[in-house]
Chain A
Amino acid sequence: MSEQKAEQVVVEARGLVKYFPVYSKGVVLKKRVGFVHAVDNISFQIRKGETLALVGESGCGKTTTAKVMLDLEHPDAGQALFEGQELFSTLKKGSRAEKMAIRRKMQLVFQNPYGSLDPRMTVYDIISEPFEIHRHIPRSEWKERVYELLRIVGLEEYHAERYPHEFSGGQRQRICIARALAVDPKFIVADEPVSSLDVSIRAQILNLLVDLQKQKDLSYLYISHDLSSVRQISHRVAVMYLGEIVEEAPTDELFRKPVHPYTQALISAVPIPDPATKVQRIILPGEVPSPINPPGGCRFHPRCPYATDICSEKKPEYEKIAEDHYVACHWWKKFY
């Protein structure tokens, strides 16, 4: 990334690593037999008002990355910077005020709006709970602020007195978004926010996220396996495979000319809702290998149609091939 843009960077991840230990079976003596390489040396930047999408198949580590970014999982190595301030050391050593301040900058919207709202709290309690914790708004203004948040996400004032079970999935997701906005965050992680919703409701929530971003200059880390929604909502896309980012590029460029063979296969695998468009599908052989013992060299080589000897021996560099476009592949020149 060029220097003049650096000041706009709101969120930055530097070399994040998260391994989960795996234990052998056994009741008394459990031996550690290996590690799940969930997130393996990941770096990215998100600018102000920008959406970075993290895509990949199940088990590639995208949700773990999100959790690490919010310190819901503590990383084994790496740094996360919020407007230049390092998250993990602040949370460890900082004063309470500092901790609260950095926490307020980030929020999370989950995949399942049925599991992420407390069924015994009213919508008012849910949305005002962050006020209780952060105390950034005087109590006298809470009510007005809750109503305002409800209006922003497209709900009505009278919804405040209701309980989550009275709402449909799309409405619940709106409540989750309102709760996330309650602390005026700079950065929102949206982990598959529309995956559990019906098609006609998905468009509502995606449009809402885009509108809010424009109004409030929010930065999003949008995590999804659904490439079509990624195309709509994100500015840049990072593709993950087995705990690593294999390609990162501006959205249009990535979909127009994907460079990494995995990105190519992933994009070609998505059915296009138009019978007149016939895509040549690249069918990958086999399945994603186990992240406990990931393949050596390039992790994608056992499934890659273009793999050669070097791919199984040497790990490819994560190279910059154009402005904002990075790829980890020995043969990227062949595809670019």
Chain B
Amino acid sequence: MGEVKLGDVLLEVQGLRTYFFTEAGIVKAVDDISYYVKKGESVGLVGESGSGKTVSALSVMRIVPKPGRILQGSVKFEGEDLLLKGESEMRKMRGTKLAMIFQDPTSSLNPVFSVESQLTEIIRQHQDVTKEEARDRAKKLLEVVGIPEAEKRLSEYPHQFSGGMKQRICIARALALEPELLFGDEPTTNLDVTIQAQVLELLKKLQKDMNMSLVMITHDMGIIADMTQRVVVLYAGRVAEVSRTYDLYKRPKHPYTEALLGAVPRLDKRKVLDVIPGNIPNLIDPPSGCRYHPRCKYMTDICKEKVPTLEETEDGHLVACHHWRELTLRAEE
């Protein structure tokens, strides 16, 4: 895209491939995914289950669980390739440079340690501070994420907090060392709507205050519209479309994006829901050519045979479709 200035880019993922070697076969969870994130920018990774959105984030953090392996590609963070770093170097980066919050706050906090010890652990692990200083910092963090009576609640355990409060603790822990890039992996999916609104506002505010880059991983097109400036649409382990958020909703270029927008029910109006036929493909044996072709209403022979490459359109989208030039896709009015 034209506006990108060199040095502006904080994270650049190039040709990333992460496969899972299971007994049933090789699951090509992330299969040639590229995107970048600029400093202070919020980018959305959107897709359905099995689209590779979470695994691509785990790959950047280098915490892909077994039997998964990163096979190919580069992950440049401030110009350095994270995939070439040793484990001890990565440990230093996690928390200080990169951090992640997960979908389920209950399972990402350790039930047998107090909130204080879970927050001070990361601070003392990375910085040479005394116990008291770390405790003070932990208390301040709880205040920043809006937990009342921080002093008292520091000594409590995760089960004494509600879901929304636990997610706030996870956010506090992720932000303890002021990372430059935060991955939010469906951070509000488990929360109620009114609590989700609280957490989203909090994330927005913190991102601005700390001038942090944020990668929002979600399947919720509403959260994407609300939180992000740019969107990467993933389908079955590949990038389908990249665009500025506003343009994506107004002028989708990829048939999958169009279909996805049409299938989402909306609160502000009643409409006939478009149906995407079929199911999400099995990634052990994904469809040939364009992976979306079995469900695509514009499919022709070339789609079955040839993998489309990401091409730049005149208005700055990147789109992986053989037919984007001919298609005029319907956007929401």
Which A residues are closer than 8 A to B by beta carbons? 57-58, 168, 170-171, 198-204, 206-207, 225-229, 231-232, 251-252, 255, 265-277, 281, 283-284, 287-288
A-B contact pairs, 7 of them (CB 8 A): A199-B260, A255-B268, A269-B196, A276-B249, A284-B197, A287-B162, A288-B192
Q: Given that A275-B249, A276-B246, A287-B164 are known contacts, is A203 also in contact with B270, CB under 8 Å in the complex?
A: no
- Measured CA separation A284–B194 after assembly (Å): 7
- Measured CA separation A284–B165 after assembly (Å): 14
Q: Is the CB of A198 within 8 A of B219?
A: yes
List 3 tightest A-B contacts by C-beta distance, closest first: A271-B222, A273-B221, A269-B197
Q: Is the CB of B266 within 8 A of A200?
A: no
Q: Is the CB of B222 within 8 A of A199?
A: no
Contact of A272 (CB < 8 Å), options: B48, B162, B263, B268: B268
Interface size in chain B (residues, C-beta < 8 A)? 48
Q: Is the CB of A281 within 8 A of B197?
A: yes
Q: Which residues of A contact B225 (CB under 8 A)?
A: 271-275, 277
Q: Is the CB of A225 within 8 A of B192?
A: yes
Q: Is the CB of A199 within 8 A of B48?
A: yes
Q: How far is the CB of B323 from chain A (nearest CB, A)?
A: 20
Q: Which residues of A contact B144 (CB under 8 A)?
A: none
Q: Is the CB of B270 within 8 A of A232?
A: yes
Q: How far is the CB of A222 from chain B (nearest CB, A)?
A: 12
Q: Which residues of A contact B261 (CB under 8 A)?
A: 273
Q: How far is the CB of B300 from chain A (nearest CB, A)?
A: 21
B154 contacts A by Cβ under 8 Å: no
- Measured CA separation A252–B226 after assembly (Å): 23
Q: Which residues of A contact B162 (CB under 8 A)?
A: 287
Tell which of A231, A270, A281 has the most Cβ of chain B within 10 Å. A270
Further 13 A-B residue pairs, CB within 8 A, beyond A207-B273, A275-B245:
A57-B192, A57-B194, A198-B49, A199-B48, A203-B276, A225-B193, A228-B267, A273-B220, A273-B225, A273-B261, A274-B266, A274-B332, A284-B197
Q: Which residues of B contact A168 (CB under 8 A)?
A: 279-280
Contact of B267 (CB < 8 Å), options: A58, A267, A283: A267
- Measured CA separation A268–B194 after assembly (Å): 9
Q: Which residues of B contact A251 (CB under 8 A)?
A: 270
Q: Is the CB of A231 within 8 A of B270?
A: yes
0 or 1 for each of B43-68: is its CB under 8 Å from A? (1 = yes): 00000110000000000000000000
0 or 1 for each of B187-207: is its CB under 8 Å from A? (1 = yes): 000001111111011000000
Contact of A273 (CB < 8 Å), options: B49, B195, B249: B249
Q: How far is the CB of A41 from chain B (nearest CB, A)?
A: 23
Chain B's closest residue to A57 (CB) is B192
B131 contacts A by Cβ under 8 Å: no
Contact of A270 (CB < 8 Å), options: B165, B193, B219: B193
Q: How far is the CB of A316 from chain B (nearest CB, A)?
A: 20
Q: Is the CB of B266 within 8 A of A273?
A: yes
Tell which of B249, B271, B279, B332 has the most Cβ of chain A within 10 Å. B279
Chain A's closest residue to B225 (CB) is A275
Chain B's closest residue to A269 (CB) is B197
Q: How far is the CB of B261 from chain A (nearest CB, A)?
A: 7
Q: How many A-B residue pairs have CB under 8 A?
A: 133
Q: Is the CB of A272 within 8 A of B193?
A: no
Give chain B interface residues in 230-249, CB to chain A under 8 Å: 245-246, 249
Q: Is the CB of B193 within 8 A of A202?
A: no
Q: Given that A231-B270, A271-B200, A283-B201 are known contacts, is A199 also in contact with B193, CB under 8 Å in the complex?
A: no
B90 contacts A by Cβ under 8 Å: no
B310 contacts A by Cβ under 8 Å: no
Q: Is the CB of B196 within 8 A of A199?
A: no
Q: Which residues of B contact A255 (CB under 8 A)?
A: 267-268
- Measured CA separation A268–B220 after assembly (Å): 16
Q: Is the CB of B279 within 8 A of A274?
A: no
Q: How far is the CB of B87 from chain A (nearest CB, A)?
A: 35
- Measured CA separation A268–B219 after assembly (Å): 20
Q: Which residues of A contact B332 (CB under 8 A)?
A: 274
Q: Is the CB of B267 within 8 A of A227?
A: yes
Contact of A265 (CB < 8 Å), options: B194, B227, B249: B194
B264 contacts A by Cβ under 8 Å: yes
Q: Is the CB of A203 within 8 A of B273?
A: yes
Chain A's closest residue to B247 (CB) is A275
Q: Which residues of B contact A200 (CB under 8 A)?
A: 48, 259-260, 263, 275-276, 280
Give chain B interface residues in 265-323, CB to chain A under 8 Å: 265-276, 279-280
B224 contacts A by Cβ under 8 Å: yes
Contact of B266 (CB < 8 Å), options: A57, A231, A268, A276: A231
Q: Which residues of B contact A265 (CB under 8 A)?
A: 194
Q: Which residues of B contact A206 (CB under 8 A)?
A: 265, 273
Chain A's closest residue to B272 (CB) is A207
Q: Is the CB of A199 within 8 A of B219?
A: yes
Q: How far is the CB of A82 from chain B (nearest CB, A)?
A: 29
Chain B's closest residue to A198 (CB) is B48
Tell which of B196, B200, B275 has the most Cβ of chain A within 10 Å. B275
- Measured CA separation A226–B264 after assembly (Å): 12
Give chain B interface residues in 120-149, CB to chain A under 8 Å: none
- Measured CA separation A271–B221 after assembly (Å): 8
Give chain B interface residues in 23-58, CB to chain A under 8 Å: 48-49
Q: Is the CB of A272 within 8 A of B267?
A: yes
Q: Which residues of A contact B197 (CB under 8 A)?
A: 268-269, 281, 283-284
Q: Which residues of B contact A171 (CB under 8 A)?
A: 279
Chain A's closest residue to B51 (CB) is A198
B250 contacts A by Cβ under 8 Å: yes
Chain A's closest residue to B231 (CB) is A275
Q: Which residues of B contact A274 (CB under 8 A)?
A: 225, 249, 266, 268, 332
Chain A's closest residue to B273 (CB) is A203
